[in-house]
Amino acid sequence: MKFLRLCFKKISRLDPYASDGIALLNRIENIKDTRHMVVHGCVRSYDEKEHTFQFCRLDLDKTKTMQLVKNLDFPVRKILDDSGEAMRIGSSALNFAERLLEAFITEDKRQNLFPPIRT
């Protein structure tokens, strides 16, 4: 994500797409902690009263020399909301990628990049 942000800031040909690209990256940034924990962690406990899962995962320390156990609590509502947002981001990212392809790659080259799927 750092690389993509840098591209939108430094590559002048991306100027017309920079605000949309950065907005998409910001949306991704807003749900990344939930995604990382759900994908790379495991459920440690569930609080029935608060409807909250506690996840744990191994994570590098600041020096990147050893693993530490990281625990985070996630309300079920946040997991559901972020899951829905992840699906919407996926759709937005596909539309954005299509805009970029149309802007930078000719139709004949796009056909070669993405040949029809044969069944």
Alpha carbon distance 23, 88 (integer Å): 13
Q: Does the predicted TM-score (pTM) go above 0.85?
A: no
Q: What six digits make up the tokens of 54?
A: 């506690």
119 by DSSP, 3-state: which? coil
Q: Which residues contact 21 (CB under 8 A, 6 or more apart)?
A: 4, 8, 14, 96
**pLDDT for 118:** 65
Alpha carbon distance 91, 37 (integer Å): 22
Q: Is residue 66 part of a domain?
A: yes
Q: Is residue 71 part of a domain?
A: yes
Q: How many domains does the chain have?
A: 1
Which of the residue ranges 15-19, 47-51, 101-105 would you say has the lowest mean pLDDT? 101-105
- 106 pLDDT higher than 90: no
Residue among 73, 70, 71 at smallest CA distance from 46: 73
pLDDT tens by residue, 41-97: 999 999 999 999 999 998 888 898 999 998 989 999 999 999 999 999 999 999 999
Q: Is residue 20 part of a domain?
A: yes
Alpha carbon distance 8, 116 (integer Å): 31
Q: Is residue 107 part of a domain?
A: no
Cβ atoms of 38 and 12 within 8 Å: the answer is: no
Neighbours of 94 (CB within 10 A): 10
Q: Is residue 68 part of a domain?
A: yes
Domain around 68: 2-83
